[in-house]
Structure 1
Amino acid sequence: MSRRFSLDLGLLETMKPSQTFPRSIVFAAVLAAAFFVAGCATKLAPPITGYTCCNLRPDYGWVSSTNMLGGAIVPAGEPVVIDTMKRDKYAYGTIGGDYVSLRDDTARSKEDMQRWMRQIVVPTDPKLTLASWSSDVQKAVYSAKVVAGMTKPQVLMSLSYPSRSDTKDLNGNTWRYWTTQEDEPVDILFGGDGTVSGFSGKPSAVRAVEFKR
């Protein structure tokens, strides 16, 4: 462990902080790797490669399926290489060239973990699709927020996937996300036409999600 830990700290010194991953997040990710990657890890052959499907929210160095909204944003369309898995719910690699750790909090098998990873890592750059949407929708997605009238694919690109613990069926009319504002949930409500019709939750939580024109 000590040898791997020293190597990871050495890696930290070679990594340059960016707007996508502030140095504190990079440091937390490398510390997580030092403890979790060493031993019992499996190299993926071939690795999972592509682009971030959507705006992701790193939490103390982890990108998690719990997907708490708030804090730093890793934007949609960043290049991804995921090459290591451990314990069927942890994965490691790079996003935008920066080291990252991923965790599926609801995974019960390697297949669950890989299914989630292939949701958030897509083969085609989503920015190509984003460019075809209206200016209001583009502004909302760039802000990682939601405006009434957005479709489900547009909400997914902006907020990523809601936790499977709270939203078991994406075909449903309510998607629940949790926010860092007082640890409160906000529900995205979809109308009969499949577009966002409104929001439900504590005002502080709704403000964290709703895009104001």
Structure 2
Amino acid sequence: MALVGRLAFVTGAGSGIGRATCQALARDGASVVAADRNLKNAEETVTLLKEFKENHVSLHLDVGDSSSVNNNLDKILSKYKRPPTIIVNCAGITRDNFVLKLSEEDFDEVLKINLKGTFLVVKQFAQAIVEHGINNASIINVASIVGKYGNIGQANYSASKAGVERLTRTASLELGDKGIRVNAVLPGMIATPMLAAVPEKSNNKVFEYDSTGEIRETRR
């Protein structure tokens, strides 16, 4: 119960990595705010957390909309009288297609949610942490191994996750002396609803770089 007394805020909490993160945090004693664009899914996540304790809430959140991010922060401050000191950015989407077929709209939407959304949450919540004089906080951004190596059919997703990783590096340099740690994790292929939406033919392919720097294909 190492996180007893800590307040955590998780985006993309309605399913996949976000839901599992909420469960892990609650199991370790944190109070969890589960935020998701699909409020019903976020509510289902909170129901799963009740076996640990009752002080968890769900919120509707569109991370790509600054007013929605601000509204979530305001609701948290009103209920808990303090900002969360654990923030996990899990919200993300895919709109996969080959570069020659990828629409501008699908490119923009993925960067809006995955990259801009992470930026908006980091900015607003870090500002609240600083204003409340808290000097022990942690922000974890979920990037992807695809952001490091790229992947066929995922130019927009790869670009967004590479941006998350570099945003994280920069934010860690700027916020470290304010008592806010900023880190990123780069998951590989994980069985989540997002992965289930990828065609099986593509889903079974993983592209990696070998020791010589050449790209090669492996199978899951």
Superposition TM-score tier, normalisation by shorter sequence: under 0.3
Choose between structure 1 and 2: higher strand proportion. 1
Task: Indicate the structure with greater helix content.
Answer: 2
- TM-score, normalization by structure 1: 0.25
